[in-house]
Amino acid sequence: GAGVSQSPSNKVTEKGKDVELRCDPISGHTALYWYRQSLGQGLEFLIYFQGNSAPDKSGLPSDRFSAERTGGSVSTLTIQRTQQEDSAVYLCASSVRVGKNIQYFGAGTRLSVL
Amino acid sequence: DQQVKQNSPSLSVQEGRISILNCDYTNSMFDYFLWYKKYPAEGPTFLISISSIKDKNEDGRFTVFLNKSAKHLSLHIVPSQPGDSAVYFCAGNRGGSEKLVFGKGMKLTVNP
């Protein structure tokens, strides 16, 4: 596809369970970002990958959150032992690291922790 | 610490009139600003951007103005169309930093 693809589009889980969210960036984009949007809030930066460099994890809210990017393409965001406050829309974006940082977003995964 | 602020949660305008969306920022290190538009159940879509070396950037019906001394930017949509109804996010970027810092968004409704 031409755009950023995220799956699943919706995820309902029970408190304490682990979840994995997937992002497939735009082909050729070397940078990949994860954000989350809680109800009534703006987008909150979580983590950033650029090529083979070490990721910028400065936005991850706790050690229950982790992400990896395999082969410089697909990324998985994992949340362990989910809590109700993790409920949010998780958005992935990618960009071409040439010139200004215009990021292109996927439709997001809506996570609901019961 | 909210570095990007969109103080008005919503705006309603008539079709054909001007829509003005405001954004304030506190981080003087920001050197690039972006506006995104978001429809329900979709991801944000890039709309227009401006570098801190400029005070205006125009793209069709959309113009962004930057006032660095006031740490304020605004997005003007002229003429507004019903299809412009969406949530608009302002974001700032600091040179050398990869993350975008977003405001909370503003819901624009354009009435036919």
List strand residue ranges (DSSP E) for A1-114, in order. Answer: 5-7, 10-13, 19-24, 31-37, 43-50, 65-69, 75-79, 88-95, 104-105, 109-113
Quote the percentage of chain B above a pLDDT of 70: 97
Chain A: give the shortest CA distance to residue B80, in Å. Answer: 24
Q: Is the pLDDT of residue A99 over 60?
A: no
Q: What is the 3-state secondary structure (H, E, C) of B65-81?
A: EEECCCCEEEEEECCCC
pLDDT in tens, A56-89: 898 999 999 999 998 878 999 999 999 999 999 9
3-state SS assignment for residue A84: helix
Provide the number of CB pairs (under 8 Å) joining chain A to chain B: 57
Given a cut of 60, whether residue A98 has pLDDT beyond it is: no
Q: What is the pLDDT of residue A1?
A: 53
User: Residues B93, B46: contact at Cβ < 8 Å?
Assistant: no
**Looking at A10-14, A38-42, B26-30, B38-42, which range is the least confident one?**
A38-42
When CB atoms are compared, the residue of A31, A91, A102 closest to B49 is A102
| Contact state of A33 with B104 under an 8 Å Cβ cutoff | no
